[in-house]
Amino acid sequence: MPIVGRVTREPDDLPIERVPYDEFGLFHENVAEYGLAASPHPAVHRTATELAHDPGRRVSALRWGDGDAELVLVHGGAQNAHTWDTVALGLGRPLLAVDLPGHGHSDWREDGAYTPQNLADDLAVVVADQAPRAKAVVGMSLGGLTSMELAVRHPALVRSLVLVDITPGINAEKGKAIIDFVSGPQSFARFDDLLARTIEHNPTRSESSLRRGILHNAHQLEDGSWEWRYDRRGHPEAEPDQPSSEERFAALWEDFGSVAVPMMLLRGAESPVVDDEDVAEARRRQPTIDVRVVEGAGHSIQGDRPVELVALLEEWLTAH
């Protein structure tokens, strides 16, 4: 994915307006917006795990609550761990929300190869270090495919798996709306410009929720402009002997079928990413999979319908 040149302000622009940001100072908005019975000052802190197989590179995460983490939450591409804030507040359980490599506060991969398999191997180090007894791994979009690969490649770390609006049936056509948003400008002259574009591409989300998301996922530069935090590089050009996209997705379906733990698939009713054919294929390969549809939700169910997602996860944890 090409990087678009950074936007800068002209010298004769109005004085730079600094937008204050306190990473742990916005929870009261989540609590108020969704009427949660939760403290606006939860016990949450940042952690970092160095990857033994790539010394010097670290993966950051948010550790919620005290005691052993009961869940691991893994966000989608171009997101970060804060996408789960409302869900974490609603659950009120000890859990770990991870910033995938190249996202949030985690270090970028030098090779830019953010494949589910590579990410799963990185994630395995973090889970083994910080959430080795988690009851469930919950992954959305790219995080869902990564969590699936974690269950296949490192099965001792995954006791149950929840996929949020993703299957290996994803393709460019189904993901077009997401790709159009993520592949847009890298930087914006003003915060309001960034917010306006984000609202345009996320019609199922509240403006306040999107504003919080931007503050967690972008940062203001010295000249007053704003830039996304995540690594926007595409994967290196494929060598002639590397598998095609069709072969890669076929391999992911094979891995989907080999997952040996209880699975639940959550589908956003307003999302094009998972269709009926995907659900049928998922059930063919995993006959016991629990499939639920979340009404009013697009692709990011955790952002569109977090309270409903909390209820589904509580039900899942009770049953497993």
Q: Tokens for 57, please give them.
A: 């590179």
Which pLDDT does position 46 carry in this prediction?
Answer: 98
Place of tokens 């072969």: 247
* 268-282 residue pLDDT tens: 999 999 999 999 999
Which pLDDT does position 84 carry in this prediction?
Answer: 98
Q: Tokens for 319, please give them.
A: 């049953």
Instruction: Catalogue the active-site residues.
Output: 141, 165, 299
Residue 139, beta-bridge partner list: 74, 163
Q: Any idea what the Cα angle at residue 183 is, between residues 180 and 99, rounded to 5°?
A: 110
CA-nearest of 151, 91, 120 to 315 is 91
Architecture of domain 38-176+248-319: 3-Layer(aba) Sandwich (3.40)
Domains in the chain: boundaries: 38-176+248-319
14: exposed, middle or buried (C-beta count within 10 Å: 0-12, 13-18, 19+)?
exposed
Task: Tell how strand 95-98 and strand 71-74 pair up.
Answer: parallel
CA-nearest of 54, 108, 72, 66 to 230 is 108
Which pLDDT does position 2 carry in this prediction?
Answer: 36
CA-nearest of 124, 205, 130, 109 to 157 is 124
Which pLDDT does position 82 carry in this prediction?
Answer: 98
Which pLDDT does position 43 carry in this prediction?
Answer: 97
Which pLDDT does position 111 carry in this prediction?
Answer: 92
> How many Cα atoms are found within 13 Å in the side-chain-facing hemisphere of 29?
15
Residue 226 contacts residue 190 (beta carbons within 8 Å)? yes
Residue 55, Ramachandran bin (φ over 0: left; ψ between -120 and 50: alpha; else beta): beta
Work out the number of other CB atoms within 10 angstroms of the CB of residue 296: 12
Which pLDDT does position 243 carry in this prediction?
Answer: 66
Which pLDDT does position 13 carry in this prediction?
Answer: 57
Residue 262 contacts residue 230 (beta carbons within 8 Å)? no
Low-confidence ranges of the chain (pLDDT < 50): 1-5, 7-8, 235-240
Residue ranges with strand state E in 24-168 = 44-50, 58-64, 71-74, 95-98, 136-140, 161-164
Instruction: Name residues whose C-beta falls within 8 Å of residue 102's C-beta, 6 or more positions apart in sequence.
Output: 108, 109, 112, 114, 230, 231
SS3 content of the chain, % helix, strand, coil (to 5): 40, 15, 45
Tell me how far apart the alpha carbons of residues 38 and 7 are, in angstroms, rounded to a whole number: 40
CA-nearest of 67, 63, 53 to 98 is 63
Which pLDDT does position 209 carry in this prediction?
Answer: 94
Which pLDDT does position 241 carry in this prediction?
Answer: 53
